[in-house]
Structures are given as structure tokens and as C-alpha cells.
Amino acid sequence: MTPTRSFFTPLQSGRVRPAATGSRSNITVSSPFSFTLISSEGAARLGEFRTPHGVVQTPAFMPVGTQGSVKAMRHGDLEALGAEIILGNTYHLFLRPGDDLIARRGGLHRFIGWKRPLLTDSGGFQVFSLAERRVISEEGARFRSHHDGSLHMLTPERVTDIQAQLGADIAMVFDECLAYPSERDAAAASMRRSVRWAQRCRDRMMQLRGAGLDGVTVSNTGQAQFGIVQGGVFQDLRTESVAATVAIGFEGYAIGGLSVGEPTDLMYEVVAATAGRLPATAPRYLMGTGTPEDLVQCVARGIDMFDCVMPTRNARNGQLFTSEGRINIKNARYAEDDRPLDEACDCYTCRTHSRAYLRHLFMAGEMTAGTLNTLHNLSFYLDTMRRIRHAIAFNTFEKFRQEFLRSATRLLSDS
Amino acid sequence: MTPTRSFFTPLQSGRVRPAATGSRSNITVSSPFSFTLISSEGAARLGEFRTPHGVVQTPAFMPVGTQGSVKAMRHGDLEALGAEIILGNTYHLFLRPGDDLIARRGGLHRFIGWKRPLLTDSGGFQVFSLAERRVISEEGARFRSHHDGSLHMLTPERVTDIQAQLGADIAMVFDECLAYPSERDAAAASMRRSVRWAQRCRDRMMQLRGAGLDGVTVSNTGQAQFGIVQGGVFQDLRTESVAATVAIGFEGYAIGGLSVGEPTDLMYEVVAATAGRLPATAPRYLMGTGTPEDLVQCVARGIDMFDCVMPTRNARNGQLFTSEGRINIKNARYAEDDRPLDEACDCYTCRTHSRAYLRHLFMAGEMTAGTLNTLHNLSFYLDTMRRIRHAIAFNTFEKFRQEFLRSATRLLSDS
């Protein structure tokens, strides 16, 4: 157990001030973002980070609000479920309604009416998913919009500017995302390009925090920026990426390029080795992961933050997570099942409705099926994170992990 | 102003008891349903009716929950908005998940988890809307399901049985719905058939309330049954229908066959004349209507109950009702409009979000657009009903009506 002081000292006001550091950048400017490690058990960490829009307890799960809305949810629902931070997608918001429009509204918080912390990704993952619709060069990524085929260019600098205009509390660097499997040489070249891009993102961020840039509205002067570690499943490349990314210096560090098809055990290995090399004084964010068991297993390996569309997307497809395993609500066995989805769950859906009704709504194609299912799945995810934090605080996390893996992650026979 | 006593005296328990009446049926059995007229101003009436699941204040608007769910809403939302009764569609629930399954769940209330009053329509309107997929005879309506083309027969008796199994607090008789325009002879023949069917529905209801029927589960022993007045736009046919339907004797009376394409002024005329001939001691329900101005204008002509998909369906299409007129949220003029939808509205949507965000969600195809828009439109409808009731209570309804017609019903130029 290693309580530590804050990585960055919060400023008195929301304004940032320049401060010389040992970073490669000639000028760096600190952000009011700070991370405090409260307690740990093995590699699992209990902590919290502070942002201009409030505190987030870690380990944290961030529901995904791609277009400025967590699908099928209202912000009030997310607050009631205990979501302390949500994620927006830069790629989607850049294309529609556009970062300029959002900046004119006062930034993403004011535009969408969400008062708690926000994180925006860099759009890297979405752009690389466009496959034949994009061309990557050292400069950046040229791509055609999935909406209308219009041509766009995203560079590390542009992505930093867009995120500054969106004004989330945490911005991510623009990184190259590699498919799995990849050859070692390709993974190395891609990782090193991501490091160069990370430096360009950080340099741009420092300009924005300092004198600013014409034509770029900084919607949130307290915005933090996280670096992203790449390197595929090659441990030495991950180690090289950690060293180079930490040398640039960010308020937090993400592990990217996982949950892209590699075997789960391999992912856990890479997570354990990579997280262990990241500074203890900054939050560690595993991007795009995962199942409930992934959350528990990766907290056990030192991860503090997660995001994933799984609880929301699966909910809309009728796949529900419960304390006794997964349920596919389409299954005919639930047609006359008067029990709640999960007797251990206190969410609105479980307090109000039976499996029989939820199955009926799903089969009838009612929108409310998506809402009720999403409420439940997010409740399950966020409740799992609460139980994880509680267990670390009381030094019972390892026991919790063993019990959780025996029960909640079971696949019921029909799923 | 004519306070009156209850039409039916509530029983001590939820069970019904037989009681001889002067109705054409040899045995009639009263229901615990009762209507109390509290106050009136001109033809406008303030009242309430009691059901086994609680009291409903009138004039009332009933949100439509076709398949056992008001689209995009949770029951908790409807309760918070002040909806005291919702409507389910017998046609849809009969086909999926089936009235037998719902009866095994304990009836529609328990199946869907809604604790307040419920009304089910008879399915007549839906069956007649199937056009070439149905054949009407004196016996009833034979039709093919819009889901899978399977063949079904609905008769007045069967529809009464299905509704008994669903167990809503109010059931409707099976009636023939005529298109507009119709020839007078066709309207007369159809109205008289509806009267014969209404008698068959009432006879069946009395059997169910009395000794019961093998194979039919009466899920709500306190279920009331409403007759439906037909006759198109022909006043003498409406008068004949009123007389014949009231002679059969029901707990309430509906006006059917309007809002099917006739001019609004003609509808108002028929409503005024028909409502004025119905007993003052029973609630009067105008089926399938209407716009906010229709509600106000028809309350002024003696109507106590309404249902309509307009607030929910229009919401999902981006058409929103406000105190200053209608808004089509798709319109580009709202892209940078930071104002709430309706500054006079206290709903979650108006308290939390701007027009700019609502437009973005709609253009982005987010499900949450449907939810937020529906919340607002239903809030507007239910708030309008509250204001109507308040105005009648204070004898200011006529003043309210004039003001309402000047403001809220205005079509903004872009709609």
C-alpha cells in the first residue's frame, strides 16, 4: 500500500500557468488535473483524479457517449447510476456537428448539458477502422467521412486543436492503431510513429496552454492530456513505448492497441507488464476494454480506467449481464419468466420489470427495450466498479476477484 | 355547474356482485367503476373516475402504450409526468405476446409493471386499418396478422374475452370503424352493426362478471366496459347510435369514427352534438384525438377523455409542441440555438438541454432524441390537461381556451 502525493498540484483557479519541467518540450504548462493513489492491494489500485468538472474515483468505468450521448440514456440516468465520467468520440463530433459549432456553444459540456468530467478520444481508432477509406502518412491520416464520403485530414496537431475546442477534461493523443495480428516490424514502425505523433500532440497542447493559437478556442483551460502506449503484443516494444511516452510527459497514460482480437490471456499478460512499467503517480487507462471479467482482471494488473461499448451495445442486442451470468433476453425460456433480470440488482429495470416483459419488449422491437436493458447493463458495470473499489479499500480485492470470476462471468447455457 | 352523485357505487372489495337493472340484458352486474362530476363551465366538465387501480382526474389524456409500453418511455417517466392512465392496444397484445400469456402473468398490469389505471381498446380500429387483409361479416372480422400473415378471427365475444384476460380497468366494445368520407347508407348500416356488436360485447361482459366462462381468465374483476357511438358525420345517425348504446348501458361512452380525415370544424360539430346527448353521469371519451387545440376545443364541447399517438409519434419525428407554437427540431435554424425547447416548460428535456443539442441528437439518429422529445411532448400534453382542469375548477376555462388558441397552437413558420 503506497499512498502518494498528487502528480500535479491543482491550481487555485481553473486557469493554467506555465512551469518549467524536465520534459523534452521547451515549455510545459501544468494542468489542474491531479491523481491521488489512496490504497492498493497487489497491483490493484484505489485512487481518484480531480478535473475542472469534479472528482472521479478509480478504478473507473467510462460509459461511451460517441456522439455526445450514451446511447438510449439520459444524462440524469447516468448520474443516478453513479457514472462520474463519460467519453465522447472526437471523430464523430468533428464530423457532426463539428468542433467549431461545439466551441461556439462553450464546449462539449455546455453543448450536451453534462456537468461531470468528460474524456474525448483522439479519433485514431475510428479513422484506422475506416480501412480502404483512409491513407496514413507521417503527417497524419487522410480519410473519407462514413457519412457522406467527404475528404478530411487529421494530424496530431489538428486532433489536439479539435479536442481543445471540445474542451473535455481529458484529451487523448492521436495514435496509430494496428490490427491484430501484426508483424513485429510493422508493430515497431507503427509504435515509433505513434511516439512521434504523441510528441507533436504534446507540443501542440503546450502551445495551446501557453500563448494559444489563432482560430482555436480552448473551451476548457484545465484540460489534461494522456499519452497512449502502443507496441502490439510485443513486450519489448511496449517497454520502449512506455519509456518514450513517459519521457514526453503526460497527465496520464493509456494502453492502446489491445482488445483487437488477441487471445484474452495474451492481453492480460501485456496489460500486466505494461501497467507495471507506467509511473505509479499517474492514472492508467486501458482503452476499449471490456467484459466484466476483463475489468476485474485488469484492475488486478494495475489498470485504473476503462471504457467500452459492450454494456450499451450488448444491451441493445438483448445480451444482459447479471450477478449469476449472462442472459440473452431473446431466448424463449424467458417468455413466461416472472423473475427480475437479476435479483441482486437494484436498478430501475430490475426493481420494476420481469424477464417476461423485457423479452416481450425486445421481441416487439420497442425502443424502451434498449433503454431498460442499457440501464441494467450500465448499472451492472458501474456497480462492479464500486464493488472493486470497496474491495481494494478493505484489502479484500483478491477474494472478491475469485468470487466474481466464479459467478458473474458464467455464460448461461442459452447465451 | 352540476355536481352529481356517482354513476355506479363502488363495492367494498374488488369482486363484483350481480344486480338487477333495467338493461336489455337479463342479468347485469355492476362494476366498481364510478364517475364523479365535480364542476363544469359551459359544456366543459371537471371530474374524476375511480378504478381498481386508482383515481383518474378528468379531462384526462391517455398516452398510448400500444404493445404494453408507451414508446421511448419508462413507466416511471409517465408517473413523474402525471399520467394517471395509459392505453394498451388489444390487437397488438393479442397477436404478441398473446392474451393467454398475459393472463398467466396475472394480467396486463402485472405483466408490464404498471400500477395505475389502464384502458384497452377493442382492436376494431387496427383490424379495419388492415384494408385488404381483413373481411368483415356480421359475425366479426377475419384478418391476417401484420406480423406473419397468420389468419385470425375477432368477434365481439372474443374481443371481450381477450380484454377480460388482459384485465385493464376499462375495456372497449368491438366496433366497426368507417372510413371518411362514407355514404349515408353505409354509415347507417355500419353504425347499426356496431350497436348489435356492442350488445353482444355487453352480454358477454355480463356472463364474465357473473358465472364466468370456461377458458377465460378474468384478470381484473373490477373491469369497466365503455360503449362506442358511431354514425360518421351524420348527426341523426349519431343521435340514433347514442340512444341505442345508452339503452344497452355501459360504465362510460366513447365517440368513435372521428379524426379519420374529416374537416376539423365538422369534427367539432359532431363532438358537440354527440357529447351533449350522452348521459352527464358517465365519462365521455373521444377516441384517437388529437392536436393540443383539439383537446381544448373538445373539452369545451363536453369531452372528458382523450388518447392519441400524436405527442409520442410526432416526438420521434422531431415535431415538438411548445407554449409558443410547434417546432420542427430538424430545421437548420436550431443548430446553434442555445435556448431550451420551451422556456415555459419544466420537463427534464427543457431543464437540461438546448435546442442545438436536441437537433444534433435528432440529426445523428440517437435513440435519446426519441426519449427526450417524447418526454417533452407528453409533458406538454399532460400539462395542458392540468391547466384545463385548473381552469374549469376556477371557472376561467373560456379565458384559458382563448389564450391557448392564440399561442400554443400557432404553427411556427418552419414547421
Check A348 against B113: CB less than 8 A apart. no
Residue type, B268: Y
Check A72 against B368: CB less than 8 A apart. yes
DSSP letters spanning B183-213: -HHHHHHHHHHHHHHHHHHHHHHHHHHTT--
pLDDT per residue over A16-72, tens digit each?
333 334 344 444 467 899 999 999 999 999 999 999 999 999 999 999 999 999 999
| B340: contact with A, CB 8 A cutoff | no
The average pLDDT across A109-124 equals 96
Check B361 against A335: CB less than 8 A apart. no
| B370: contact with A, CB 8 A cutoff | yes
Q: Annotated active-site positions of B, please?
A: 121, 307
pLDDT of residue B353: 98
Chain mean pLDDT for chain A: 92
Distance CA A117, CA A209 (A): 19
pLDDT of residue B17: 34
DSSP 3-state of B49: strand
Sheet of A151-154, strands arranged across: A134-136, A141-144, A151-154
Is-catalytic flag, A161? no
Residue A71 with chain B: CB contacts under 8 Å: 366-368
| B317: contact with A, CB 8 A cutoff | no
Check B105 against A361: CB less than 8 A apart. no
pLDDT per residue over B98-141, tens digit each?
999 999 999 999 999 999 999 999 998 898 888 788 999 999 99
C-alpha cell at B254: 366513447
A140: alpha, beta or left, given left = phi > 0 and alpha = psi -120 to 50?
A: left
| pTM for this model (two decimals) | 0.92
Check A371 against B367: CB less than 8 A apart. yes
Best B366, B372, B374, B378 residue to mutate vs chain A (most A CBs within 10 Å): B366
Whether a cis peptide bond, with omega within 30° of 0, leads into A156 is no
Q: Could you report the predicted ipTM of this complex, rounded to two decimals?
A: 0.92
pLDDT per residue over A192-207, tens digit each?
999 999 999 999 999 9
| A309: contact with B, CB 8 A cutoff | no
Best B341, B368, B374 residue to mutate vs chain A (most A CBs within 10 Å): B368
Shortest alpha-carbon distance between residue A77 and chain B (Å): 11
Residue of B nearest to A75 (CA): B352
The average pLDDT across A284-290 equals 97
CA atoms within 13 A on the CB side of B364: 26
Best A64, A67, A69 residue to mutate vs chain B (most B CBs within 10 Å): A69
pLDDT of residue A11: 29
Is-catalytic flag, A307? yes
What parts of chain B have a pLDDT lower than 50?
A: 1-28, 415
pLDDT of residue A168: 98
C-alpha cell at B6: 356517482
Distance CA B254, CA B161 (A): 20
Contact A331, A414 (CB under 8 A): yes
| A180: contact with B, CB 8 A cutoff | no
Parallel/antiparallel/unpaired status of strands B224-229 and B170-172: parallel
Residue B363 with chain A: CB contacts under 8 Å: 96-97
Contact B316, A75 (CB under 8 A): no
Check A360 against B73: CB less than 8 A apart. no
